[in-house]
Amino acid sequence: MVNTLFYFIVFPGFLFTALVGLLVSWIDRKVTARVQWRVGPPILQPVYDFVKLLGKETIVPQGGSRSTFLFAPLFGLAAVTAVSTLLWLVMFSPEKTFLGDLIVVIYLLTIPSISLILGGFASANPLASLGASREMKMILAYELPFILAIFTPVIQAHGLIRLGDLLQYQWANSIFLSSWSGFIAFVVAIICMQAKLALVPFDIPEAETEIIAGPYIEYSGAPLALYKLTRWMMLFVVPMFLVVMFMGGIIFRGWHILWGILKYVLLLVIIILMRNTNPRLRIDQAIKFFWGPMTILAVIGIILAFLGI
Amino acid sequence: MDFKTKALTKSIWVFHFASASCNNCDIEILDALTPKFDLERFGILLVGSIRHADVMLVTGAVSHKGAVRLKRIYEQAPKPCLVIAVGCCACSMCIFRDSYNMSGPVDRLIPVHAYIPGCPPKPEAMIMGVVKLVKALKKG
């Protein structure tokens, strides 16, 4: 019991993920600044942002549902903490995996978006409702190719569905990325991950110039701080999930630790570069994109996986 | 200085309210937020929603319609929220002193914590205004 609490709250759960999430969000802002030929914020900037938000007044809009408005950020935070704990525990000791943990991770990763939708609709603001409805459409759009891409490694591993078994399969044979089906699925998963993290070109729910912060518009103070923290933790957790599924996770022996961190940094760099070089899509363009080319690509990946390529 | 105030001075999110200005001050505020002056170094970000803002930049001599909305927006900002009047018109109505359609300078409607005169003030002047405000915050 004490062990579980320690894993969930300190390492590799809330404290560890939150601190690394703060660091990763700073890396994102710093690299963005460098790409734009400027200096960028100091390393403690996310900490200052978070503490400042905690010290501000929390205003609950009239007409909205008060308890939903205040409790919505907590669901997303709890879900992303649970995913991070699960992933890192499985990476440390793959025999601790249980049947269905892959499905649990996929479900838990949708909860931060759902908590944002809840919060947006509880805000009693038409712009927030618009942003929340766009987030719903985005989830419909990207979840299909994402799940198809995530199940390609399962097919390639001849039906192994537990995360620990997938990791050990990759350590015994080659990583899933080295096959054609794995590569195609990886590309699809990266683009779906960009939509899951709500980053440009898919930051449609929070389109600043259009709907002024979307679902976040009425949030202030501590609930906003929790939403921001959830976003930063997702920036750490979702690429880590992709590293586990496609690149064999992090092996905790000697030089392999550095190699594993570099795998994560590669994904982070791809995310940041995509974020800085693209304009934003419209919601109908995004849906057509995910249900059209991305799904076809994911299906090709699955066919190739069945053929064993 | 406790950590809460230090965090407030190091992470300033700015909301821009333009009321009946000729837009020159607004253009200069936009210039100050471009990569040339790089205000993100100081933690200054432009936010779209007043509920996320720590500092409200008001430009323009405030019209009658704008006055109603200015007061409402100020009440919607979560405290502590500071107000900076940017440009001569916001500070003292300047040449529009005796006009019939203006509701007076900003400090007649909401409390103002810093004044940045100029028509329009250069981005460097705005940065100096923000620095003076931050120093005054640190002192108490």
Where is pLDDT greater, at A254 or B26? Answer: B26
Q: Which residues of B touch A (CB under 8 A)?
A: 3-4, 6-8, 10-11, 35, 38, 40-41, 43, 47-49, 51-52, 54, 76, 78-80
Distance of alpha carbon A249 from alpha carbon A92, whole angstroms: 10
State which residue of chain B sits closest to A59, comparing Cα positions.
B78
Predicted confidence band of residue A63 (pLDDT cuts 50, 70, 90): confident
Cβ–Cβ below 8 Å for B35 and A218:
no
Cβ–Cβ below 8 Å for A57 and B10:
no
Q: What is the dihedral of CA A50, A52, A53, A58, to 10 degrees?
A: 150
Distance of alpha carbon A71 from alpha carbon A81, whole angstroms: 16
pLDDT at A208: 58
Chain A residues with beta carbon closer than 8 angstroms to that of B4: 51-52, 55
Chain A: closest CA distance from residue B102 (Å): 28
Looking at residues B110-133, what average pLDDT do you find? 91
Chain B residues with beta carbon closer than 8 angstroms to that of A29: 40
ipTM: 0.91
Residue type at position A107: Y
Chain B: closest CA distance from residue A274 (Å): 20
DSSP state of A43: T
Question: Among B4, B49, B80, whose Cβ lies nearest the Cβ of A217?
Answer: B49
pLDDT by residue (tens digit) across A265-307?
Answer: 999 999 999 999 998 888 899 999 999 999 999 999 999 999 9
pLDDT by residue (tens digit) across A128-184?
Answer: 998 899 999 999 999 999 999 999 999 998 888 899 999 999 988 888 888 899 999
Q: What is the dihedral of CA A168, A169, A174, A177, to 10 degrees?
A: -100
Question: Among B7, B52, B78, whose Cβ lies nearest the Cβ of A213?
Answer: B52
pLDDT by residue (tens digit) across A145-159?
Answer: 999 999 999 999 888
Sole residue written with tokens 């001599």: B61
- Chain A and chain B share a number of CB contacts under 8 A equal to 76
CA atoms within 13 A on the CB side of A240: 27
State which residue of chain A sits closest to B35, comparing Cα positions.
A38
pLDDT at B94: 83
Question: For chain A, what percent of residues have pLDDT higher than 70?
Answer: 98
pLDDT at A237: 95
- Residues B107-110: contacts with CB within 8 Å, 24+ apart? B109/B62, B109/B67, B109/B70, B109/B71, B109/B74, B110/B58, B110/B70, B110/B71, B110/B74, B110/B83
pLDDT at B140: 72
pTM of the model: 0.93
Looking at residues A200-224, what average pLDDT do you find? 82
Chain A: closest CA distance from residue B6 (Å): 8
Chain B: closest CA distance from residue A30 (Å): 10
Predicted confidence band of residue A3 (pLDDT cuts 50, 70, 90): confident
**In whole numbers, what is the pLDDT of chain B averaged over residues?**
89
Cβ–Cβ below 8 Å for B41 and A42:
yes
State which residue of chain A sits closest to B13, comparing Cα positions.
A49
In this model, does residue A18 exceed pLDDT 90?
Answer: yes
For residue A174, count other CB atoms closer than 10 A to its CB: 12
